[in-house]
Structure 1
Amino acid sequence: MGRLTTHVLDAAHGCPGSSIKVELYRVEGSGLELVATALTNSDGRCDAPLLEGDTYRSGVYQVQFSAGDYYRAKGVKLPEPAFLDVVVLRFGISSEQDHYHVPLLISPYSYSTYRGS
């Protein structure tokens, strides 16, 4: 059975992005349905998959990372409003049997992602 996981790496400080709020939404028509909320651990990962089992199904999803709150908590002075306050990634899951891993590499002014393994 498939699952969805994520992790966050802080490129500005060269460390995992810990204690970052992660919200996962299923895109339903023109609306969003919240399906999971998590906080990254000291390794920048969520302690459990964001989706697995009966909740894991194909479709369009949106994951949101509270990057601005993370950097403010680290004492980074950000402009207001922050350039990247919440990083939003929208992606599709086409196979309910596959593991989808959506990592995020962040700094206060940039981010990168890819489909990992």
Structure 2
Amino acid sequence: MSRSFVTTHILDTVSGRPAAGVSVELLAAADGWSQIASGVSDADGRVNGLGPDILPPGRYRLEFATGEYFAGRQLTTFFPEVVVTFSITAGEAHYHVPLLLAPFTFSTYKGS
């Protein structure tokens, strides 16, 4: 599978392991939000085939179904979903948006 323009890697900081099986949606801003692609994190917590090979500049968002992930592990979470909104600018070759996840906190950053 080829790598898409936007990728993510989800790590469960409670277990110290990749978060496999998390549903992720990629959306674009255009008179509201429209879904471009969706995927599920693999055994390594990665979603590499999320959307097209290139996206035009604009605002995008990743929506992570964290509530379902933690419910599957019989854990309560404060965040039923995590939404990360970001801007794509011209001239970038790839956007990697990692998510560090726990039931009551999360963190993200622009990866490489």
Residue equivalent to 1:90: 85
Residue equivalent to 1:48: 49
Matching residue's letter, 1:4: V
Identity of aligned residues (%): 35
Residue equivalent to 2:70: 71
CA contact (8 A) 2:37 2:50 kept: no
The range that moved more, 94-103 or 7-16, is: 94-103
Separation in 2, partners of 1:60, 1:41 = 26
State the secondary structure of the residue aligned to 1:70.
helix
Aligned residues between the structures: 109
CA contact (8 A) 1:5 1:51 kept: no
CA contact (8 A) 1:57 1:96 kept: no
1:32-88 superposed Cα distances (whole Å, 9 cap, x missing partner): 0100110000000014243314xx211100110011100110121x1xxx4100000
State the secondary structure of the residue aligned to 2:70.
helix
CA contact (8 A) 2:7 2:48 kept: no
Shift of 1:91: 0.4
CA contact (8 A) 2:39 2:50 kept: no
1:2-61 superposed Cα distances (whole Å, 9 cap, x missing partner): 8111110000111001000001110113x00100110000000014243314xx211100
- 2:29 equivalent to 1:27: yes
State the secondary structure of the residue aligned to 1:106.
strand
TM-score by length of 1: 0.86
TM-score by length of 2: 0.90
Residue equivalent to 2:38: 37
